[in-house]
Amino acid sequence: MGADGLIGCKQARETGIRLSKAHEHPQEQGYATGTAPYSYRYERQTAGEKWPQMVADEETAPVLQRIFQTYAASEASAKQIAEMLHRDKVSAPISNRNRNRADRVWSGDVISGMLANRRYIAEPPAKWRALDARDVFDRVQARPASKVQRKAQGQRSCIFLGLLYCQECGRRLSPTYFPQGVYYQCGSKSSLIPCDLARESVKESDVRGQVEAVFADFLNGIPAATPAAVIETNEIKIARLRKQLELVGDRYESEGTITREAYQTKVAELKAQIKALEEQPVKAVDPRELLTLGPAVAQG
């Protein structure tokens, strides 16, 4: 950018600051500044007033009240209200602001912006008349919150969230929701170097059945012999930790997703775990050991 460009940017910034300061004084006294919202217009000649007054537009005010009342009664969404107004051939806001521009259609975004505009209830404290009742406005604002709450209540829970690991690379299995159930996949599926089992998935109901079978046998004193599940021995644990060690090195050297300090800390931690497992005496398989689903997933 040349000298002329820098001077122009500076002048534009200074002009913006001056305009903002010029608007502060009338706003503090309750006067509107800037473009009037839909259903309002400016009255340029008002007796006893220093600045133009924003007043209701008798032609479009009923349209605005219809929008708020329809949405507050949960009769339609913002998009459906826009489609309804378009079918009724109601002029869109841009057409009312500038008669010389081509006509524009209503949209859900335009309706949502109106429903969130607090100037329609004369807030902050203002001299213009509110076009919407406060109780109707409050019901409109509460409706999206209730939808979010219902969505949160309807979310499925993951029984094994954070408990399942991929035997191939050691990463956690992440859940994915489908209408037919929850499926778990290796977390490396979204990385630059996915493991061999990254494209495989296991259904939560299948995992649950395997876990229940193993623990039922254990509680009844019967050794776990379910062919779909393998008890993780120290040897398997060490192999998994070494795979994790290789993966951390790849993330540091190739992907660059971790810092040198984090890499060194993680390597030291994994080596300490491997050393502790190697020093443990060999013992019989304990059914209480963590289940690993690597072989089951590989076999489909």
DSSP secondary structure letters along 213-278: HHHHHHHTTPPP--TT-EE--HHHHHHHHHHHHHHHHHIIIII--S-HHHHHHHHHHHHHHHHHHH
Residues 127 and 200 in one domain: no
Q: What percent of the chain has pLDDT over 90?
A: 0
Residues 233 and 285 in one domain: yes
- Looking at residues 137-162, what average pLDDT do you find? 68
Task: Round to whole Å and give the CA distance between 26 and 36.
Answer: 15
Residues 96 and 141 in one domain: yes
Q: How would residue 226 be classed by pLDDT, with cut points 50, 70 and 90?
A: very low
- Position 284 in a domain: yes
- Position 140 in a domain: yes
Residue 152 pLDDT exceeds 50: no
Residue 69 pLDDT exceeds 70: yes
Residue 158 pLDDT exceeds 50: yes
Alpha-carbon separation of residue 40 from 46, 72, 95, 106 (angstroms): 15, 21, 14, 18
Q: How would residue 3 be classed by pLDDT, with cut points 50, 70 and 90?
A: low
- Position 216 in a domain: yes
- Position 10 in a domain: no
Residue 300 pLDDT exceeds 50: no
Q: What is the pLDDT of residues 162-175, one digit of tens each?
A: 888 888 888 888 88
pLDDT at site 51: 66
- Position 164 in a domain: no
- Position 12 in a domain: no
- Position 253 in a domain: yes
Going by C-alpha positions, the residue among 53, 36, 39 that lies closest to residue 131 is: 39
Instruction: Say what the pTM is.
Output: 0.40
Residues 230 and 122 in one domain: no
Residue 108 pLDDT exceeds 60: yes
Domains held by the chain: number: 2
More confident residue, 98 or 45: 45
Task: Round to whole Å and give the CA distance between 108 and 94.
Answer: 14
Residues 87 and 188 in one domain: no
Residue 6 pLDDT exceeds 60: no
Least confident of 91-105, 119-133, 179-193, 284-298: 284-298
- Position 8 in a domain: no
Residues 177 and 220 in one domain: yes
More confident residue, 89 or 35: 89
Task: Round to whole Å and give the CA distance between 15 and 13.
Answer: 5
Q: What is the pLDDT of residues 247-289, one digit of tens each?
A: 877 777 766 667 788 888 888 998 898 888 888 775 554 444 4
Task: Round to whole Å and give the CA distance between 213 and 292.
Answer: 14
pLDDT at site 297: 43
Tokens matching residue 32: 């509107």
Residues 260 and 222 in one domain: yes
Q: What is the pLDDT of residues 172-216, one digit of tens each?
A: 888 888 777 888 888 888 777 788 888 888 888 888 877 777 676
CATH number of the domain residue 62 falls in = 3.90.1750.20
Residues 149 and 188 in one domain: no
DSSP-assigned letters across all residues of the chain: --HHHHHHHHHHHHHHHHHHHHHHHHHHTT---SSPPTTEEEES--TT-SSPEEEE-TTTHHHHHHHHHHHHTTS--HHHHHHHHHHTTPPPHHHHH-TTSPP----HHHHHHHHT-GGGGTTTT-SSPPSS-HHHHHHHHHHHHHHHHHHHHHPPP-TTTTT-B-TTT-PBEEEEEETTEEEEEEGGGGSSS--TTTT-EEEHHHHHHHHHHHHHHHHTTPPP--TT-EE--HHHHHHHHHHHHHHHHHIIIII--S-HHHHHHHHHHHHHHHHHHHHSPP-PPPTTSPEE-HHHHHT-
Residues 246 and 205 in one domain: yes
For 280, the domain range is 173-298
